[in-house]
Amino acid sequence: MLRTLLEERFIEQEVDTRLYRLGPGVLELAQLFLKQNGIADIAMPHLNQLRDQMGETVALQILDGNETVCIAMSESRHPVRVTYYLGERMPAFCTSSGFVFLAGMSAATRKSILSKKLQKYTPKTIVDAVKIEAVIQDVTRKGIGFADESYIAGARGISAPIHGPNHEVIAVVTLVAPTQRISLKQLSMLVRPLKATADAISADIARVGTIGSSLRRALVAG
């Protein structure tokens, strides 16, 4: 197995220590995944626009199991900023993006995730399932997720859902900023522009899907 991974450049072996590390093939595979996913390419202009408008880091995340995964990011230009890296995974139970995904799940799926032992990342991390459910109900009412230093100390985030053709939550757009620059009141003022960005991405995804479906029907008919 190691020999195959070496040949495909998914791992490398250090000459001195003979230890293995990830190779460039992993990066190529990640880029292929993002290209096939398609959402990142559609969302990127909208992420850049929101970043330029608000001056803070904006990310696109999808759900994988009980974690969110960053698949695109437009980084703040401020010297002091919060940032993600592509492929970064974060727990769903204590992040603004995760709250949005949890709100879109069935009660049974959500219960399965929240029944596991939850790690306390900061003093503000909620690990009680009943209290998290209360947060999620609030997200359901408002259609937006907030996080106040619940995963990263010194960072606040706000997230809005991106919907697929059946109105399912397929991704989330998140804006994140240092607490020293954005108060909770200021964060709440970002609801409208964030929702507008998420809705615009959803509309573009629907448009591309409609064009693709029409093209497939035309090819079949032809």
d(CA 216, CA 184): 47
pLDDT of residue 146: 96
pLDDT digits (tens, 9 = 90+) for 53-97: 999 999 999 998 899 999 999 999 999 999 998 889 999 999 999
Per DSSP bridges, beta strands 67-74 and 57-64 are antiparallel
Does the residue 218 lie in any domain?
Answer: no
The answer on 101 and 23 residing in a single domain is no
The answer on 113 and 79 residing in a single domain is yes
Q: Which residues contact 35 (CB under 8 A, 6 or more apart)?
A: 41
Tokens found for residue 166: 């059946």
Distance of CA 113 to the CA centre of its chain: 17
pLDDT of residue 28: 60
Task: Tell me what the pLDDT averaged over the chain comes to.
Answer: 87
Residue 143's domain is classified under what CATH number? Answer: 3.30.450.40
pLDDT of residue 7: 80
The answer on 25 and 111 residing in a single domain is no
pLDDT digits (tens, 9 = 90+) for 146-164: 999 999 999 999 999 999 8
Task: Tell me which amino acid residue 60 is.
Answer: L
Res. 11: pLDDT tops 90: no
pLDDT of residue 143: 94
pLDDT of residue 37: 54
pLDDT of residue 141: 94
Res. 13: pLDDT tops 90: no
